[in-house]
């Protein structure tokens, strides 16, 4: 996939995800730091993660080219107290990302998050290895909100593990608990073979 398309897809992910977050978090299901968290296995069975409350899922699919190629994604959302929302986005591109271009795709996603609002600023972003693949660990903030995340790509899938909320409520301990609970399924985590 080319760089421009990857960046555009990053922006669309953010727009749809943020709309879903604000729509779904109107239902105030609350969880706290000490309560047991809920194990969630993705619809496709390729990963699992613990949420602070039972997550709601939004599925979306839209055409991204004149050739009929479609992008599919699932967003899982759960509020944490009144302090923010935890989310897992799993996006499936129509074609695998060329090996070595994963960071370019993730930078496109990050630029889409930053560009969503003129008020957004990048606090930090660093390239990391996450479950054996390159990823980006980042924090974006505005005057009043934060968006804390980890993102990585395997084959034709992008995984975004994130929390969003009011800036003063950013809790790294909770974000770490959420992000470290993420696991890829061993059989589903293998990259698709190249033709």
Domain membership of residue 163 (yes or no) is yes
- Which residues does 189 contact at the CB level (< 8 Å), separation at least 6? 46, 47, 131, 154
Domain membership of residue 172 (yes or no) is yes
pTM for the structure as a whole: 0.81
- pLDDT tens for 68-120 read 889 899 999 999 988 899 999 999 988 888 888 888 889 988 998 999 889 99
**Residue 186: burial class (beta carbons within 10 Å; 0-12, 13-18, 19+):** exposed
Residue 23 belongs to domain spanning: 3-183
Domain membership of residue 55 (yes or no) is yes
Domain membership of residue 10 (yes or no) is yes
CA neighbor of 43 nearest in space, from 31, 55, 28: 55
Domain membership of residue 190 (yes or no) is no
The CATH code of the domain that includes 53 is: 3.40.1000.10
Structural domain count, the chain? 1
Domain membership of residue 124 (yes or no) is yes
- pLDDT tens for 160-188 read 999 999 999 999 999 999 999 999 987 54
Describe the chain by its helix, strand, coil percentages, rounded to 5.
25, 40, 35
- pLDDT tens for 13-67 read 555 455 445 444 444 444 455 678 999 999 999 999 999 999 999 999 888 888 8
Domain membership of residue 118 (yes or no) is yes
Domain membership of residue 194 (yes or no) is no
- pLDDT tens for 118-142 read 999 999 999 999 878 899 999 999 9
């Amino acid at each position: 996939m080319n760089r421009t398309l990857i960046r555009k897809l990053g922006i669309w992910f953010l727009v749809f995800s943020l709309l879903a977050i604000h729509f779904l978090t109107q239902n105030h299901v609350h969880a706290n730091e000490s309560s047991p968290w809920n194990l969630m296995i993705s619809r496709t069975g390729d990963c699992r993660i613990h949420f602070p409350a039972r997550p709601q899922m939004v599925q979306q699919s839209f055409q991204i080219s004149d050739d009929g190629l479609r992008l599919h994604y699932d967003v899982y959302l759960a509020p944490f107290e009144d302090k923010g929302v935890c989310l897992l986005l799993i996006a499936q591109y129509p074609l695998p990302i060329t090996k070595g271009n994963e960071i370019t795709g993730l930078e496109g996603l990050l630029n889409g998050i930053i560009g969503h609002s003129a008020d957004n600023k990048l606090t930090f972003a660093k390239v990391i290895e996450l479950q054996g693949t390159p990823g980006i660990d980042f924090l974006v903030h505005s005057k009043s909100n934060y968006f804390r995340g980890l993102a990585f790509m395997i084959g034709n899938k992008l995984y975004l593990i994130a929390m969003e909320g009011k800036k003063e409520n950013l809790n790294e301990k909770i974000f770490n608990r959420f992000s470290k609970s993420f696991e890829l399924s061993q059989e589903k985590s293998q990259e698709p073979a190249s033709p």
